[in-house]
Amino acid sequence: MTVSAVNWEPFLTCAVTGAGDTLAKHPDLPVTPEQVATAAIEAAKAGAAIVHIHVREPETGKGSRKPEYFREVVERIRDSKVDVVINLTTGMGGDMIVGADGANDTPAPGGDFVGPMERLIHVAELLPDICSLDCGSMNFDDDSTLYIMPPSYLRISAKRIKELGVKPELEVFDLGHIELAKRLITEGLIDAPALFQICLGLTYGAPATPEAMQTMRDHLPAGSHWSGFAISRMEMPMVAQAMLMGGNLRVGLEDNLFLERGVLASNADLVTRAKEIVERLGGRLASAEEARDRLLR
């Protein structure tokens, strides 16, 4: 059921940099820990209640999972005294490139595939408010790259995250991921009400359409917190769609590099544009404290 946007107060997540090969497309993409932290702080000041953090290798711009980079970003944000909920990715370490000759040359060079506990080292060290948890495997491009998260890995990850006292954000890219997340909730590995992030428009995941967002929303467990986003040019249309459906929101340079055609954005620009959409629809963005009250207390 679609709810009225009037008086709805969604929280907004800013996904600051991601790990994709986007540096060549955006000369001001945050790369170093200092740049990522600065962009996160600017996004929070613009209205983001939550910042979703990836880190990159400063010399190359490629995605990284080094705990020392995460530590610098988190310490800089915390030292700034800006009130924002910190959400660290755990998606790094799941990429496998499949060779042309099956088991004989798989995994092929160029991937980054490690076990579930190694993907959580930085979370265990830094204890953020939230960490992402990808709820299944998927074809990640149009060639030979797979993201690997089998049910056995997901159970190990969910159990460890619960032990750490961190709130998992369940990233779901199709209906099967939702069904797997439901199973983990039933098994007691994830506490209800769970937090879901509906991810649309990625290669061979659910498409960036209103119908897909509503279908996935309708399959979530009753009472769940949920947020939704789409990548690229569908980012802002899906901000409006999630708002109209009573969901929470996500924007950021991880998902989209442009404010409008031909105009590169900053994270703060994207947050500001999303805030304008929310306010024009009759709502307002929730603060970090309000998001914390809903999700963590």
Instruction: State pLDDT tens for residues 103-159.
Output: 999 999 999 999 999 999 999 999 999 999 999 999 988 899 999 999 999 999 999
Distance CA 147, CA 195 (A): 21
Q: Is residue 287 part of a domain?
A: yes
Q: Is residue 255 part of a domain?
A: yes
User: Percentage of the chain with pLDDT > 90?
Assistant: 95
pLDDT at 270: 98
Task: Please name every residue paired with 260 in a beta bridge, in sequence order, or none if there are none.
Answer: 263
Residue 174 near residue 138, CB atoms below 8 Å: yes
The residue to which tokens 């595939």 are assigned: 113
Total domains in the fold of the chain? 1
Task: Please name every residue paired with 147 in a beta bridge, in sequence order, or none if there are none.
Answer: 95, 138
Q: What is the 3-state secondary structure (H, E, C) of 102-144?
A: HHHCCCEEEEEECCCCHHHHHHHHHCCCEEEEECCCEECCCCC
Helix (H, G, I), strand (E, B) or coil at 212: helix
Q: Is residue 1 part of a domain?
A: no
pLDDT at 158: 98
Q: What are phi and psi of 112, to 5 degrees?
A: -145, 90
Residue 216 near residue 172, CB atoms below 8 Å: yes
pLDDT band at 5 (very low <50, low <70, confident <90, very high): low
- Its pTM stands at 0.96
pLDDT at 2: 45
pLDDT value at 89 more than 80 = yes
Mean pLDDT of the region 250-273: 97
Q: Residue 156's domain spans which residues?
A: 12-296
CB atoms closer than 10 angstroms to residue 48: 34
CATH code for position 93: 3.20.20.70
The β-bridge relationship of strands 94-97 and 145-147 is antiparallel
Q: Is residue 81 part of a domain?
A: yes
Mean pLDDT of the region 231-238: 97
pLDDT at 297: 84
Q: Is residue 28 part of a domain?
A: yes
pLDDT at 6: 54
Mean pLDDT of the region 27-52: 98
For the segment 161-183, what is each residue's pLDDT rounded down to a tens digit?
A: 999 999 999 999 999 999 999 99
* Residue 37 token pair: 């932290």
The residue to which tokens 């790369």 are assigned: 31
Alpha helices in the chain (DSSP H): 33-46, 67-80, 121-126, 151-164, 175-186, 210-218, 235-244, 267-280, 288-296
Distance CA 24, CA 294 (A): 38
